[in-house]
Amino acid sequence: MKKLITAISITSALLFLQSCDNQEEELNIIENEANIHPEHVYGPAITIKDSEESGLANRNTNSISTNWKRISYDDLRTFEDEHGRKSFTNTDGLKNRFTFILNKGNRRPNNVSINGSKFGFGSNPNGRFNWNADFRASGKKTKNSNSTYTRWKRIQDIPARWDRNRSKKGRWMELQGEWRVETTNETNWSVTNSFSHSFSLEISVPDTFKATNTFTVGLDRTKGGSESRKVTDVLRGGRIWVPAGKSVVWEAQERHKTNRSTWSVPLEFRGRIGADYGTQKHHGAHFWSVPAKNFFYDYTERDRKYVINVNEDNSKQIRVHAYIQ
């Protein structure tokens, strides 16, 4: 009987020791799994190809301009100084300005004519001599740089995917099916000017990274503007070791570079401004004209210009971020 009790005791002790060994081994396996299989996995970065239909050509474009615009009476009212220091619709002021620009004595003309607008008495000589005056905004790129990549961040508009390991053992899990991701590239710009007012002009600025070649900036909207374009690709990767009973979450992330450019855009004038000196000739002629660029010298000084600052997202990358929950 004693021998039987002793045998049972030995057997129980051996079973207890084996159970402890198994538990220790399981703990070691779990600990090793945590070390071998991280709780965060990142898929390969996928670069969404920027449109190249305009790319190289636009990257080499360093000048921009609006179309030439025939100066109208409404434009002349826009040219007027908002503080009343000058006026382009005041007859006396225009006669004095023409006399100063012509620089042929102090005699003033009977009128000054800017295209079809006549200020004073007498005839408008512009049609007879084909004296027309136009203006436009025209400038050059003065700065251009492309940043390094931004930090990775979740794409907010794309819901995350998840799954649960319902088995009693850890196992590898990955995205099921095709996950096509749509995100956007942003282009935004700001406009400042050194004039006392803004002109109703629109200028096309090259977009380096999209196929439509340009975006339109309204020079009368000094707060600037923005536009976005959609870019898509398929996410891959996200294979991760999921312990038993745990869940895995897959979320889409993105990052991009920002191209920054600055455009300096002054006003330009072409053509001529006419005047009628009446029946009494002035230095041998009844009619005289001066260059429009000289007549509107206030707007062609070096510091008078628009400045357009443009930020363009480019080189968009997306990836999948898988993590245990």
**Which pLDDT band holds residue 211 (cuts at 50, 70, 90)?**
low
pLDDT score at 294: 96
pLDDT at 82 over 90: no
pLDDT score at 221: 59
Domain contains 31: no
**Which pLDDT band holds residue 218 (cuts at 50, 70, 90)?**
confident
Residues forming a β-bridge with 120: 111
pLDDT score at 87: 83
**Which pLDDT band holds residue 271 (cuts at 50, 70, 90)?**
very high
pLDDT at 133 over 90: yes
Please report the beta strands in the chain, taking only residues with DSSP state E, as ranges in sequence order.
40-42, 46-47, 63-65, 69-70, 111-114, 117-120, 133-146, 153-154, 161-164, 171-173, 179-193, 202-206, 214-218, 225-235, 240-242, 247-265, 267-276, 287-291, 306-324
Domain contains 27: no
pLDDT at 200 over 90: no
Residues forming a β-bridge with 235: 179
Structural domain boundaries, residue 171: 40-324
Choose the weakest-confidence range: 48-57, 117-126, 166-175, 294-303.
48-57
Q: How many CB atoms lie within 10 A of CB 157?
A: 10
For residues 58 and 64, give the distance between their C-alpha atoms in angstroms, rounded to a whole number.
Answer: 11
pLDDT score at 216: 83
Domain contains 14: no
**Which pLDDT band holds residue 51 (cuts at 50, 70, 90)?**
low
Whole-number percent of the chain with pLDDT over 90? 50
Domain contains 250: yes
Q: Based on the structure, what is the number of domains in the chain?
A: 1
Domain contains 315: yes
Domain contains 310: yes
**End-to-end distance of the chain based on CA atoms, in angstroms?**
56
Q: Is 230 helix (H, G, I), strand (E, B) or coil?
A: strand
Choose the weakest-confidence range: 2-16, 130-144, 194-208, 222-236.
2-16
**Which pLDDT band holds residue 16 (cuts at 50, 70, 90)?**
very low
pLDDT score at 303: 81
pLDDT score at 199: 75
Domain contains 51: yes
Domain contains 203: yes
| Structure confidence by residue, pLDDT tens digits, 62-79 | 899 999 999 999 999 888
pTM score? 0.75
Specify the higher pLDDT residue, 59 or 108. 108
